[in-house]
Amino acid sequence: MNSPGHRANILGDSFKVAGVALATGGTYGTYWTVDFGGALTAASVLPTSPVPEPASYLLMGLGLVAMGVARRRR
């Protein structure tokens, strides 16, 4: 906390979220990083829609075939 800029970021209220990461190994042994950000908004979180897996389509297809076979037997 000897850096005035880092101290202001850590103790200030202008940032709403912070991410901290640590990596070990490499030339210098340990690496630390901190990322400060504002509040999450609806625009910053993109909506996703589920994508059916091929197995789901296969099961649905087999179910439709089974219903067709059952109907044909009647």
DSSP annotation string for 26-58 = SSSSEEEEEEEE----TTTS--------HHHHH
pLDDT, residue 69, reads 93
Q: Is residue 71 part of a domain?
A: no
- pLDDT tens track, the chain, 74 positions: 688 887 887 787 877 778 889 999 878 889 888 888 876 666 666 777 887 788 888 999 999 999 999 998 87
Q: Is residue 54 part of a domain?
A: no
Q: Is residue 70 part of a domain?
A: no
pLDDT, residue 43, reads 63
Question: What are the residues facing 32 on neighbouring strands?
Answer: 22
Regarding pTM above 0.75, the answer is: no
CB of 20 closer than 8 Å to CB of 37 = no
Quickly tell me which residue has 């940032």 as its tokens: 15
Residue-range definition of the domain harbouring residue 34: 1-40
pLDDT, residue 56, reads 85
Q: Is residue 58 part of a domain?
A: no
